[in-house]
A and B are shown apart, each in its own frame.
Chain A
Amino acid sequence: MIPDLVREARRAGLAVGTDRALAFGRAVEVLGPSGLYWAGRLTLCGGPDDIAVFDGLFRPSPVGARRHPVPIGSSRGRSFFGAASSASSSSGPAVRVAASDAEVLRGRDIAELSDVERAEALRLIGLLRPAVSVRRSRRWRSSSRGSVDPRRSARAVLRAGGEAARLSWRRRRSRPRRLVLLVDVSGSMSVYADALLRLAAVFVRLRPRWTHVFSLGTRLTVLRGPALDTSDIPDWKGGTRLATSLTAYLRRFGHRGQARGAVVVIFSDGWERGDPVPLGVAMAHLRRLAHRVIWVSPHAARPGFAPLAGGLVAALPHIDSLVAGHSVAAVSELARVIADA
């Protein structure tokens, strides 16, 4: 019975290793068959998402099992390596572009490119190696200047047999600042969203632990893994409910700590179908949490651009910088803005 349940749990997508399976067996031994549900739940699950999956194995739900928050966009269980096909296809059509052509391509609007040119533009974005924004950590590292490092200095004294030795110095270490990328994937944005997702993938590869990527559409979806495959986004090229999905982000992730002190980048044209007021409220909340809020609009570089889209007007007072994101050059400029934030 136990191996069956473990096998079923694995099939349902839970990461059950031998150690977890073993713990499960021991728990069942202690609790007896009537404790099967709790024994399994306590040992085989590793997060609220897992609990929902596990409860699915127990139908009808046993007495005592309660409701659990089902995560928004529960597109869990994606393999980290599952998206290899999309990575290889990007290098598929071999395009030979002379250096001057690449320079021309850099400045052109991504929406106006042919498929082959667009693939090349995305490849160029994938080659960016941006710097990352840093913050000062509370941890120390030794240094030639700074303040006296009592621990190392004392060790030196001990090594010298109690004689006063040379002092050691220390400074605060710096750590990468958390980066949150929220990408609008509605129909009007999909061409540009591809480009920004490519940039997001670069940041994820550079700093996997410090980068969080979400798609905003009719709902909020967490994007994981190095390739950020768009096939994981259920509402890709769908409508936009910017305020709703941004509020969902704040409730579930942002306010709880992820956006605190982070650099938050929102990529959207700001077309909000409904009332723009909730978006303004959500943006103000985000601004209070984040270190920097950067809004990227694909249209910001157009001649005569004025932020007239309803959502953008509401968001504007709560933005630190408004950046264009329509071409390869603009995206690399955006990477620089993120690094300097």
Chain B
Amino acid sequence: VFASPDELAAALDGAGYLPDPGIATAGFLALRLGKPVFLEGDAGVGKTAFASALALAAGLPLIRLQCYDGIDAAQALYEWDFPRQILHVRRCEATGEPVGDLYDRRFLIARPLLRALEEAPCVLLVDEVDRADDEFEAYLLELLSEAAITIPELGRIAAPAPFFAVLTSNRTREVHDALKRRCLYHWVDHPDPEREAAIIARHLPDVSVRLSVAVASAVARLRSLDLVKPPGVAEAIDWAAALSALGSDSPSRESLSAVLKVREDWAVAAAVLP
């Protein structure tokens, strides 16, 4: 649909996401080559937002899977609906109908990954893949490289149309190279102050340009300090919203609660803020 990364960038812009050239190129290649994108970066730099904007820009539904420690095939891929199978057997007993095949598609509950496959074309977001354990990564390999899932009782289910996967990671652990090799890799940096000011203005149309520029440069200054948790874009937006609600036109110490959520960081930040 998109002829160049710039065209996709414009469409993402229309979907409320201001991309930098790198992420726009990654999204463009993902759509063109059908390769998954693996986005890594600090919390709050807009990795998840990119997936929803990509879905919106490409006019595709978004299916999201949030990963967590211990997630397994039954929660991510599919599960057999045993109560239904048993009820089916009972009903057949009562009515005398033949039972037929119990491992049939209608007794299968599709979890997000299988759903994405069946509902393709769509955008699949596998969020915070680093939170899942490494056994889980193995479930993704066939899905991402072949766009198919093999269910032992049923056989191989392949996507009817290409589907586009976005994987995100906060890098709390190193994801296995077998998974990364199948993806385009992009490290998402914090935006520069000009882009950040534009992002704030985009999310909060009521906030004055002056305030969004001031917040963006203050956040950039905070990131240059030695903080336990440097603020992300989401915090910058929260901060601008908080300041605007307070009727203030420049970042102040009193409103730090919107930006810094570690006690030790307050003392460091208070020293540089008015």
Contacts and interface: CB of A to CB of B under 8 A. Distances in A.
Interface stretch (A38-46, A109-117, A264-272, A308-316): A38-46
A302 interface: no
A256 B89 contact: no
B173 interface: yes
B35 A137 contact: no
A20 B228 CA distance: 35
Nearest to A30: B32
Nearest to B37: A42
Contacts of B180: 46-47
B21 A139 contact: no
A334 B104 CA distance: 55
**Contact size range, A:** 35 or more
A131 interface: no
Nearest to A16: B181
Given A23-B184, A31-B5, A285-B228, A42 B25 contact: yes
Interface in A40-96: 41-43, 45-48, 50-51, 64, 66-68
Contacts of B70: 137-139
Given A66-B189, A154-B83, A158-B89, A47 B25 contact: no
B228 A250 contact: yes
A186 B93 CA distance: 77
Contact of B93 (A19, A48, A139, A162): A162
B186 A42 contact: yes
Interface in A234-259: 247, 250-251, 255-258
B86 A158 contact: yes
Interface string B71-92: 0101000011011011001100
A43 B72 CA distance: 29
A20 B182 CA distance: 8
Interface in A1-60: 15, 17, 19-20, 23, 26-27, 30-31, 35, 38-39, 41-43, 45-48, 50-51
A281 interface: yes
A258 B172 contact: yes
Nearest to A43: B184
A155 B189 CA distance: 49
B183 to A, nearest CB: 9
A30 B134 contact: no
Contacts of B85: 154, 158
A145 interface: no
A258 B173 contact: yes
A274 interface: no
B82 A255 contact: no
A134 to B, nearest CB: 14
Contact of B181 (A19, A66, A256, A258): A19
A290 B123 CA distance: 37
B146 interface: no
A161 interface: yes
B222 interface: no
Interface of A: 15, 17, 19-20, 23, 26-27, 30-31, 35, 38-39, 41-43, 45-48, 50-51, 64, 66-68, 137-139, 150-151, 154-155, 157-158, 161-162, 175, 209, 247, 250-251, 255-258, 260, 281, 285
Given A139-B70, A251-B226, 19 more contacts: A20-B181, A23-B33, A23-B35, A27-B29, A35-B25, A41-B186, A42-B26, A42-B29, A46-B181, A48-B171, A67-B189, A151-B80, A154-B82, A157-B82, A162-B90, A209-B134, A250-B228, A251-B228, A255-B229
29 contacts: A17-B181, A23-B184, A27-B29, A30-B33, A38-B5, A38-B21, A39-B29, A43-B184, A46-B180, A47-B174, A47-B187, A48-B187, A50-B185, A51-B187, A66-B192, A68-B187, A137-B70, A137-B133, A139-B70, A154-B85, A155-B82, A157-B82, A158-B82, A158-B86, A161-B89, A162-B90, A162-B93, A256-B172, A257-B173
